Amino acid sequence: MLRALRRVLLPTLVSAALLVDSASAQGWYLMIPPMEKRQTWPEWLTREEGRRAIAENRPLGEWEIRQVFDTAEECKTTQAFLIGAESKYRSRKIEDIQKEPWKLPGPENAAFNARMARFNLFMIEDSRRIDYSRCVSVADPRLKR
């Protein structure tokens, strides 16, 4: 009887203890906003893909977790480093785009060239997401979906 009771109660008590422990645990997320597609009316009419843009006004529950930290200070330090690194990346990428090293000659390659230009612009826009990043406590109620 005691063994049967232990088999039923022990896992329940352990689960409850872990739940309480994880709820009281502190941690920090470096979060970045999602991207969303924004189309103009002419783009929609011509079935063009539209432009992907940063959706910084979306609720935090929809943001992506970039990294997890033990303290807010670690999060802020990494955030500052990543903002600087992404800024340098964008500068180099813009210089590359102006040189157009991928561009193939001839009218038959126009579609490829246009796709590559859009792809490079997307990569620059995606790297800007870190500029809108936030360090958020694991216990922040805004993270609930």
* Phi, psi for 27 (deg, rounded to 5): -160, 170
- Burial class of residue 133 in the structure, from the number of CB atoms within 10 Å of its CB (0-12 exposed, 13-18 middle, 19+ buried): buried
* Six token digits for residue 78: 């990494």
User: How much is the pTM?
Assistant: 0.66
Q: What residue ranges do the domains of the chain occupy?
A: 26-143
- Residue for token digits 């109620």? 141
pLDDT, tens digit, for every residue of 38-87? 666 666 566 666 567 888 889 999 999 999 999 999 999 999 999 999 99
